[in-house]
Amino acid sequence: MLFFRLTLVPIQEGKMEDAMSFAEEKVDEFMGIPGLLQVALCENSDGQLMSWSTWLSEDSMNGSSEQLAEALGGLKDFVTGPPEISFGPMTAGQQYVNIMKGDREGQSFVVRIGYGSEYIEEKYDEGMDWLQNTVYAGYEGTEGLLGAFAVDVGGKFVTLSNWDSQEALDASLESFQQIMADAQNYIKSPPTIVTGECSIWRNMASFPAGKLSEWSK
C-alpha cells in the first residue's frame, strides 16, 4: 500500500519566495532516495509552504527521515514555528491521466487538500467504498483533474486532488460538492480546506490512469 506524507510549514512574512527557491535547489537531492515516488512543493492559501510526498511503503518513508531533514535543514531561516506533519496509508485513490516518470517538471499545477476531518470508525469500510466507487468514479471525465486520493492519518482523513489549473478547479467546484454531499455520513466534522499552486513536482515513478490500489512499481 502506498504511503503519503503532508508537511505544512509556517513561513515568515515576505520570505515565501526565498523559501521556495531554497526548496527548489534542494529537491533534486531527493531523486535517489529509496522508495520515494513523488514529491511536490507549493505555497498554499494559508501562506504556508506545503509539501507532499508519495512513498512505496511506511518503512521507506521512515528510513529516509534523517536524509530529508538534513537536506531541508536550511529552511529554518525562513520559518516561524514547527511544521505540522501528517502521514499514513493511501486508502482510496484514482489517477485520471497518465503521469509518467519524469513528467511535469517545470509545469505548475494546483492542489486542493482537506485535512483534520475525523472519520466515524464503524463506517470506515463503507466510507472507503463510497469514496472509491462513488466519489472518485464520479470525477471521471472532469476536465483538468489529474488525480485524487485519500489518506488515513490515524483516525482522520487527508484528501487531495491535483488540477491542471485554478480555473479547472473553480469550474468543477459545484459538481464536486454535489458528489461529496454524502460525506457527512462518514465523518464527524468537515475538513479544513487549503489550496495551493505547486511550482515544484518530481515524479520518480510512473502512475498510469486507474485505481491507485492497483498501482505497482
For residue 182, the domain's CATH number is 3.30.70.100
Task: Name the pTM for this structure.
Answer: 0.91
Please check the confidence at residue 199 and state whether its pLDDT lies above 70: yes
> What total number of domains does the chain contain?
1
Over range 63-90, report the average pLDDT: 87
Q: Which structural domain range is residue 170 located in?
A: 3-214
Strand 145-152 with 156-163, pairing: antiparallel
pLDDT at 76 over 90: no
Classify each residue of 183-207 as buried b or exposed e, where b means 16 or more C-beta atoms within 10 Å of its C-beta.
beebbeeebeebbbebbbbbbbbeb
What type of residue sits at position 153?
V
Confidence of residue 44 (pLDDT cuts 50, 70, 90): very high
The predicted-structure confidence for 100-111, as pLDDT tens digits, reads as follows 998 888 789 999
